[in-house]
């Protein structure tokens, strides 16, 4: 029998409401269900609420219109609380900078996993408001930024760092940022996958240097090779998911769990029209 139930006991606070408290406890018998070995293997190592580091402050932020996630990470053990924003969106720059200020952080990098028609970066706007911030994007993207990174590069903020993995395929310049190895680095790891790997899906590969074969190889070699309990934080989500894990996506991703030829077929048949933002893209590409 499973130990579930509810009990009624007083809540100890300085100023409790004047309510009548009854002390009782009810145990509800619940049948024990079967669990497959497969599911157990996925679950085994991600039983925590989120990644943990005594130094890390982490916030996930959402831009509703484009369904884009922006991530704020900071080393709050450092006197200056240096922080990075991953994939800031132009429309929410003021919100993001306000949070940075309220939390007493010092924003050092505005990092991009990629630029794309549905992904209008706010790093240029951030730089216009906070000139000391450095914009970051991959060299392979062809975009301009203060720091042009390549596979293997590490971005430090305080004692914490993010490692760059080239994950082209959605665009030729896509990268995934992965939290580091070492003392005080977040455990489980966190991977900011941009559009290379979405929760149960992936970014389109039909325009702007997209290549489904390349994306398949990128995800399998660079993301699915991470520990299974690594948290997946994508650039977008359209169904209300906020996080997944490598283990989950290896089992349940609707596209990347297929063999390569099936995946390429799915990607070839999936999209037939460009997003509206493509028309604006040529003006945005060089404004990272």
- Using CB under 8 A, which residues numbered 59 to 118 contact a copy of itself? 59-64, 67, 70, 76-82, 92, 95, 99, 102-104, 106, 108-109
Instruction: Provide φ and ψ at 222, rounded to 5°.
Output: -105, -25
- Note whether 129 binds a copy of itself by CB under 8 A: no
Nearer to a copy of itself, 219 or 281 (CB): 219
Which CB sits closer to a copy of itself, 95 or 264?
95
- In the complex, the smallest distance separating the C-beta of residue 62 from a copy of itself, rounded to whole angstroms, is 4
Minimum CB separation of residue 259 from a copy of itself in Å reads 16
DSSP element (H, E) containing 190? strand 190-194
Establish if 131 lies at the interface with a copy of itself (CB under 8 A).
no
In this structure, what DSSP letter does residue 239 have? S
Looking up tokens 């070492």, which residue turns up? 182
> Which listed residue (153, 169, 205, 246) binds a copy of itself by CB under 8 A?
153
Q: Are 160 and 138 in contact (CB under 8 A)?
A: no
Residues 197-216 that bind a copy of itself (CB under 8 A): none
116 token code pair: 């794309």
Q: Considering the rule CB under 8 A, would residue 43 count as an interface residue with a copy of itself?
A: yes
Instruction: Pick between residue 47 and residue 183 the one whose CB is nearest to a copy of itself.
Output: 47
Sign, Cα dihedral of 124, 125, 128, 130: negative
Pick the stretch among 28-36, 123-131, 203-211, 255-263 that binds a copy of itself (CB under 8 A): 28-36
Q: Does the footprint of a copy of itself cover residue 48 (CB under 8 A)?
A: yes
Contact region for a copy of itself (CB under 8 A) — 37-45, 117-125, 204-212, 269-277?
Answer: 37-45
Cβ 120 to a copy of itself, closest distance in Å? 15
90 Cβ contact list (under 8 Å, min separation 6): 120, 121, 122, 124, 125
Backbone torsions φ then ψ of 149, nearest 5 degrees: -95, 160
* Alpha-carbon separation of residue 15 from 19, 22, 196 (angstroms): 12, 18, 50
Angstrom distance (rounded) from CA 71 to CA 80: 19
Q: How far is the CB of 204 from a copy of itself (least distance, A)?
A: 20
What is the smallest separation between the CB atom of 258 and a copy of itself, expressed in angstroms? Answer: 17
CB of 183 to a copy of itself, least distance (A): 15
- In whole angstroms, the minimum distance from the beta carbon of 282 to a copy of itself comes to 27
Could you tell me the sign of the dihedral formed by the alpha carbons of 224, 229, 231, 234, in that order? positive
Sole window of 42-50, 123-131, 205-213, 270-278 interacting with a copy of itself (rule: CB under 8 A): 42-50
In angstroms, rounded to a whole number, what is the distance separating the alpha carbons of residues 128 and 232?
Answer: 30
Q: Taking CB under 8 A as the criterion, which residues in 155-194 touch a copy of itself?
A: 155-159, 163-166, 186, 190
> If DSSP states are collapsed to H, E and C, what string results for 67-102?
CEEEEEEEECCCCCCEEEEECCEHHHHHHHHHHHHH
Window 220-279: residues binding a copy of itself (CB under 8 A): 220-222, 225, 239-243, 248, 251-252
């Amino acid at each position: 029998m499973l130990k579930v139930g509810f009990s009624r006991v007083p809540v100890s606070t300085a100023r409790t409401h004047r309510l009548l408290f009854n002390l009782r406890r009810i145990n509800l018998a619940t049948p024990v269900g079967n669990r497959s070995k497969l599911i157990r293997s996925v679950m085994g190592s991600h039983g925590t609420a989120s990644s943990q580091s005594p130094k890390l402050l982490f916030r996930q932020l959402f831009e509703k219109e484009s369904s884009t996630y922006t991530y704020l990470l900071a080393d709050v053990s450092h006197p200056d609380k240096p922080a990075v924003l991953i994939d800031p969106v132009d429309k929410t720059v003021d919100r993001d900078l306000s949070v940075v200020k309220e939390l007493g952080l010092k924003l050092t990098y505005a990092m991009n996993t990629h630029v794309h028609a549905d992904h209008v970066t706010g790093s240029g706007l951030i730089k216009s408001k906070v000139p000391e911030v450095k914009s970051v994007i991959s060299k392979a993207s062809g975009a301009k930024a203060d720091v042009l990174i390549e596979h293997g590069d590490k971005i430090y903020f305080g004692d914490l760092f993010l490692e760059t993995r080239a994950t082209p395929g959605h665009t030729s310049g896509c990268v995934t940022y992965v939290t580091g190895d070492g003392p005080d680095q977040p455990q489980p790891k966190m991977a900011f996958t941009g559009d290379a790997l979405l929760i149960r899906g992936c970014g389109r590969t039909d325009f702007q240097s997209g290549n489904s074969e390349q994306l398949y190889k990128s995800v399998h070699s660079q993301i699915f090779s991470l520990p299974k309990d690594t948290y997946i934080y994508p650039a977008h989500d359209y169904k209300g998911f906020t996080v997944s894990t490598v283990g989950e996506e290896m089992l349940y991703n609707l596209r990347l769990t297929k063999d390569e030829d099936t995946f390429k077929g799915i990607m070839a048949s999936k999209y037939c029209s460009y997003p509206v933002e493509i028309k604006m893209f040529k003006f945005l590409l060089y404004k990272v």
